[in-house]
Chain A
Amino acid sequence: MIAALHVIALVLVACGGTAVVLTREPLNQALVLSVYGVLLTILFIVLQAPDVALSELAVGSAALPLILLVTLAMVRKQSQ
């Protein structure tokens, strides 16, 4: 049961990481990165590391994508 959870979480993280790399559009990539942060959080919870999971949730899936989104909103030119 636990082993199955480990495998599922690890596979999800592998898929998520690949998805971040394969997304080329920065705006979409910021959102995919946020989802990837949630997947990593799930992995850390499954591995019983709640402190690291909280860090990942706060930084990886909220703060970092938010900074990227705000930056993109500021620098995107009108002509596009």
Chain B
Amino acid sequence: MLKALCCIIQRDLRLTFRRRGECVMPLFFLVIVSSLFPMALGSDPKLLAQLAPAIIWVGVVLSLLMSLDRLFRSDAQAGILEQFVLSPYPLSLLMLGKSVAHGLVMGVPLLLLAPVLCLLLQGSFESLGVLWLSLVLGIPTLSLTGSVGAALTIGLREGGALLAIIILPLMIPIVIFGASAVTAANQGISYDSELLLLGALLLLAVVLGPVAISAALRASVTCV
């Protein structure tokens, strides 16, 4: 079973490296979106510093949405989803592999971008560690939750907007806890509870997410 998991992760990582251009786009999108806020709010450093955690978190969610849209699209076009469904290994295992690959591909660059964004938004570097930790806990959860929506909307014309409408409400708790953790760190108060809650959500997502994703994939592929 572990071999099949690694096989899927390896495959997805290989595909990502062959499509480097496509995968970098959500990251630039994040930078642009984060830059929009100072344009809209004015360059007052105090205001930006206060809003920085929120802007970064919202930007991360939006750029993940962009990448989720593509998650199953090329597989659906090549007839590969049927091969997934017909694999003797549990579909949830394969979907877990796909989510791990997606989390790695999006998460690592986002973590590297976080200090850059902090700089742009006059955020404080002392709370960078908390920002990283909240992103490490939050991005896999967002990825797993979002993949459910991506699996439900495979092959639909309105894909992108519909995906956003479906999964943004489900992502709200993660954003609340993630942004609050960093804001609390900025203000010097304790942020343990937020991080613990993020961890709990991650555990829940890891256990239930692949099951939901595989059910959604089956619905999209196997309904007459």
- Is this pair of chains taken from one and the same complex? no
Using a CB–CB distance below 8 Å, which chain A residues touch chain B?
A: none
